[in-house]
Structure 1
Amino acid sequence: MFFKTHGKDNTSPKSIRTRLLANFIIVIFISVLIFEALLIYFTHFYFYNNVESILTNQIKTTADLYSQYYSNVPLEVNIVDNAEIFWKQTNAEVQIVLFSGEVILDSKGIIYKDLLQSEDFKSALKNEKGVWIGRNNSGERIMAVSYQLKSDSGGVGVLRFLTSLDEIDAIIMNISLIFICIGIFVILIAIVMSILLALSIVRPLKVVMEAAELMASGNLEVRIKKDKNDEIGKLADTLNYMAMEIQNRDKVKNDFISMVSHELRTPLTSIRGWADTIIDDGFNDREILNDGINIITKECDRLTKMVEELLDFSRFISNKDELKKEETDITLIVDYIRKQMSKRAIKENISFSVTCEKVPPIYLDRNKIKQVLINLIGNSLQFTSSGGSIALKVFAENDWLVFNVEDSGCGISSEELPFVKEKFFKGKTSKSQTGLGLTICDEIIKMHNGSLTINSQLNVGTVVEVRLPYKLEN
């Protein structure tokens, strides 16, 4: 299977408008056709059923009249003496037929040589009402209704009413033509509406397509105006969001390159400068040599830390870093942090206190939480002057394990505070570095389904609170 990866397609496929219009017309045509067929069918059914009902009522009335008042006289005698009783109830043609099929009376005076064998006659022989639609000898469409005549001794013959259907068929034809004209008019109106509907769908799609082509060509400043909150509007929002995200990622990439270049240049310049100084001095001045080696060592540590942060950040954004949770006695982590960070605090003349209440064991990634606490306390040490204080407090609160890191450092301004956890944010102070430490800490805590909040006042101090849930232990 091959996919076209770039460039415009030069082929000429059917446009969406053409396909929509064709589909609309097909659906409308089929719907109107079915509806017309149903209308014509029910019209035909209504008129024919009405004629049949009238003939049935008339023939039953005549048959009942014969049974009540004339059945004591033979049928042949009634035909001669009382023939009018058979057709005075109807305007239809009347026939009297013997069971043998011989027509012995016809109100139109027609003489039948052949025996009658129609379906309605056969039904009447079975003492059932018989109905037959067909053509007579002259080609005229007729409906015939047959009913058995009875006397006290049983059936004596068959009474048959016949009526022409030509006028009914003409009426049905006229009504059908009216329905067909209405159907054609409806189809024409529907085609016009379909064209307008197709245009209402295609025009915004065309706008979206043109904007997408501009975005694909590199113009990420273009934005699609959303007219309606439908699927096309959501597509426009998605493309606008995509363009904005690409712009943001480009900005992050550029900021990253700029930040890394700057952060690498400073220690590398220092290392190169002191290396040249040591080489030029020829190892004669021991003090210069010691100072140079100490500065080079510090700058190498700084570079190492920055590279580790970048590697951690890379793993987080690529979702390759997974937690290794295990049941943990939190006092072991707190003791480790106390021992590791106390030496640096003493060296920098900063008071460092640790308070840990008795808390239940919790499931967490020990190394990740150590990394978070070391980073948070390291930040406090970095931004707290000599003579200041830092306090780590650990306690349980309802279903949460809480870590509080409080310092008396320089604090963070209200303008910078909302952004300190963002990637590559660097504060205005000279001590600010890559801006990844808090971002990584925040991601680790989120992976534990916890929260990391920072409250700070400039020239007063900073309080960082980390909350980890006890409920989600596995």
Structure 2
Amino acid sequence: MIFITAMTLLTLALVWGVITYALVPQYNRTIRGKLESKADAIVAMIDQSDTPIANRDFGVLVLNSDFWKKVGDTFLNKTINVDGCCVDFSDTTLRCLKAYESMYPCLLHESTGAFGGEFVTNVNTALVIQMRQKLFQNGSLYEIVHSSSSQQMLVGHLSADGQYGVIVSASLAQISTAAEVLRSILIPLAVLLLVLDLLVAILFSRWFTRPIERLSAGAQEIASGNYDVQISVIHHDEIGRLAEDFNHMASEVKRSAQLEKDILANVSHDLRTPLTLIKGYAETVRDLTGTDEEKRTEQCNIIVDETDRLSALVNSVLELSKVQNGSEKPNLIDFDMSELCFEVAGRYDALCDQNHWTLQLEADHAAPVHADPAMMERVLHNLLGNAFHHIGADGVVILRVVPLEQGCRVEVADHGPGIPPEDLPHLFDRYYRARQDAGKTGTGLGLSITKAILQQHGFAFGVDSAVGQGSTFWFTMNDTRIQPNP
């Protein structure tokens, strides 16, 4: 509102300044230009005349009738429009040859008359003689003359031979009056505009700030812990798009908050169970089975297994935290991804022999890449561990490397139960477990760590799955010199 009021006052001040300081000078320049063009045209007629336009025979003025008839016709048919102007012709004697008067009152030629009689014009007043003298002395004339009630602009030119002078003049009273009228109405106009601007500003501010107030209230609700806030989108303009973005943010904050609660609950549960077992078996060994070597060994093995489980969970949480917060930076070097996959696959020989599984490696061609091999090894272990966790009845897991023009595509496929479509968008979230995984062992952070590593490298990744047909997790190392994401 203050801004609109200030802009209105500034605009009015600018208009006042234009009226006061620019309107009259610009008008005068325009009038002078028109009078200059008229004077030039009339002088051109004199210069083009083959015979003198007038003679003084022993003091008696003799006019060239043909020339003056031509001048009169030119003025009459407005080839040279002198309406509202006074045209004065003179010679070197400073006396008038002829005057054409289309302006009243004229300050150069005094006009007198009586009621019912004819007007008489004095074409040799002291003022006009003075102006003729300036014209013949200087070769040109530009003057503004004043009286108590009017002012008049004069422009004068000489003929080419310097024998004749032409003065064309016009009244300037109208522009002065107009400027005074404009200044007189400017104050009430300013008051009216200020009132209208205030009304418009109030209405506009209410219309503009209402959605912002709703956004502010929604932000306060989220700050207080209510993540179910949704702002109604009324207009599809910039504010409407802001409301849509706010709603999306609120949904993501709600999902993130729920995920954090789930993580806390799941981690707490996973910590509580091994801790309870460790404590229980440690007390049993201490109080009951300390002398029974067989039972003591069995219970100590359980304690060691549960300790390993605790360590794996803590290490996974720490690993995910380091990768996500950027404290662990990729060490990018050139290496062959097919060779790395061959090395990683060899470490699963014992597991496959023990469970009668098959890890089918399809990496027959070299695949040069630029990445951190240690991090890529972690990604392969996580994906292979997940695949063996969901291995199908055929006991087959496939590790495939497909060379591309730059880089390669790595796939880990199983023939297990597959993943329902509603679970696919959330598989890489921290501690998310698909419904068929409920109750299974594992930290639930392997795919989250995989996601964080691949995002650091800027690699695309995803999963293709159909229920009952298995799943294929993939990532594309699409540039041998790609820079990691910050």
Give the shorter-chain TM-score range: 0.7 to 0.9
Indicate the SS of the match to 1:464. Answer: strand
Q: Conserved in 2, the CA contact under 8 Å of 1:20 and 1:198?
A: no
Question: In the alignment, which residue of structure 2 is the partner of 1:254?
Answer: 261
1:63-115 per-residue CA deviation (whole Å, 9 max, x = no partner) reads: 899x9354242558789xxx99634666646579xxxxxxxxx9549986xx9
TM-score by length of 2: 0.71
Question: In the alignment, which residue of structure 2 is the partner of 1:463?
Answer: 472
Q: Conserved in 1, the CA contact under 8 Å of 2:368 and 2:407?
A: no
Structure 1 residue runs of 4 or more that deviate by more than 6 Å after TM superposition: 57-65, 76-79, 148-152, 158-164
Question: In the alignment, which residue of structure 2 is the partner of 1:382?
Answer: 389
Give the alignment partner of residue 52 of structure 2, picking from 68, 86, 104.
68
CA distance in 1, matches of 2:25, 2:453: 74
* Comparing 51-60 and 353-362, the one that deviates more: 51-60
1:382-434 per-residue CA deviation (whole Å, 9 max, x = no partner) reads: 34489833343334255452333334445444554443222211244432433
CA distance in 1, matches of 2:408, 2:158: 103
Indicate the SS of the match to 1:363. Answer: strand
Equivalences for residues 141-220 of structure 1 within 5 A: 141-143=150-152, 145=154, 155=163, 168=174, 172=178, 176=182, 180=186, 184=190, 189=196, 192-220=199-227
Question: In the alignment, which residue of structure 2 is the partner of 1:440?
Answer: 449
1:343-377 per-residue CA deviation (whole Å, 9 max, x = no partner) reads: 22323343344343131432221111111222222
Q: Does 1:307 align with 2:314?
A: yes
CA distance in 1, matches of 2:149, 2:333: 98
Equivalences for residues 301-450 of structure 1 within 5 A: 301-384=308-391, 388-427=395-434, 428-429=436-437, 430-450=439-459
CA distance in 2, matches of 1:268, 1:118: 120
CA distance in 2, matches of 1:306, 1:86: 116
CA distance in 1, matches of 2:460, 2:28: 76
Shift of 1:242: 4.1
CA distance in 2, matches of 1:148, 1:396: 92
Question: In the alignment, which residue of structure 1 is the partner of 2:12?
Answer: 29
Q: Aligned AA for 1:25?
A: T
CA gap of 1:38–1:243, structure 2 versus 1, over 3 A, is farther
Shift of 1:126: 2.6
CA distance in 1, matches of 2:167, 2:249: 83
CA distance in 2, matches of 1:264, 1:440: 20
CA distance in 2, matches of 1:210, 1:455: 42
Q: Aligned AA for 2:255?
A: N
Q: Conserved in 2, the CA contact under 8 Å of 1:36 and 1:180?
A: no
Q: Does 1:135 align with 2:146?
A: yes
Q: Conserved in 1, the CA contact under 8 Å of 2:361 and 2:398?
A: yes
1:154-196 per-residue CA deviation (whole Å, 9 max, x = no partner) reads: 749x787888765x46764686479759955666655544443
Q: Does 1:454 align with 2:463?
A: yes
Question: In the alignment, which residue of structure 2 is the partner of 1:100?
Answer: none
Indicate the SS of the match to 1:322. Answer: coil
CA gap of 1:159–1:372, structure 2 versus 1, over 3 A, is closer
1:279-327 per-residue CA deviation (whole Å, 9 max, x = no partner) reads: 2333333332232222222222221211121112112332333211211
CA distance in 1, matches of 2:421, 2:375: 29
Q: Conserved in 2, the CA contact under 8 Å of 1:451 and 1:467?
A: yes
TM-score by length of 1: 0.73
CA gap of 1:76–1:29, structure 2 versus 1, over 3 A, is same
CA gap of 1:292–1:351, structure 2 versus 1, over 3 A, is farther
Alignment root-mean-square deviation, CA = 4.6
CA gap of 1:282–1:119, structure 2 versus 1, over 3 A, is farther
Question: In the alignment, which residue of structure 1 is the partner of 2:138?
Answer: 126
CA distance in 2, matches of 1:57, 1:72: 25
Shift of 1:448: 3.4
Q: Conserved in 2, the CA contact under 8 Å of 1:380 and 1:407?
A: yes
CA gap of 1:116–1:467, structure 2 versus 1, over 3 A, is closer
Shift of 1:48: 5.1
In the alignment, structure 2 segments of 5+ residues that lack a partner are 63-89, 111-119
CA distance in 2, matches of 1:291, 1:196: 81
In the alignment, structure 1 segments of 5+ residues that lack a partner are 1-17, 97-105
Q: For this pair of structures, how many residues does the alignment match?
A: 436
CA distance in 2, matches of 1:85, 1:281: 146
CA gap of 1:436–1:76, structure 2 versus 1, over 3 A, is same
* Comparing 85-94 and 429-438, the one that deviates more: 85-94
Q: Aligned AA for 2:456?
A: M
CA gap of 1:404–1:198, structure 2 versus 1, over 3 A, is closer
Indicate the SS of the match to 1:393. Answer: strand
Q: Aligned AA for 2:212?
A: L
Q: Conserved in 1, the CA contact under 8 Å of 2:398 and 2:413?
A: yes
Question: In the alignment, which residue of structure 2 is the partner of 1:293?
Answer: 300
Q: Conserved in 1, the CA contact under 8 Å of 2:43 and 2:166?
A: no
CA distance in 2, matches of 1:151, 1:359: 97
Q: Conserved in 1, the CA contact under 8 Å of 2:379 and 2:450?
A: yes
Q: Conserved in 1, the CA contact under 8 Å of 2:312 and 2:443?
A: no
CA distance in 1, matches of 2:195, 2:31: 32
CA distance in 1, matches of 2:419, 2:44: 108
Shift of 1:437: 0.6
CA distance in 2, matches of 1:150, 1:257: 104
Question: In the alignment, which residue of structure 2 is the partner of 1:20?
Answer: 3
CA distance in 2, matches of 1:412, 1:123: 104
CA gap of 1:401–1:253, structure 2 versus 1, over 3 A, is same
Q: Conserved in 1, the CA contact under 8 Å of 2:109 and 2:123?
A: no
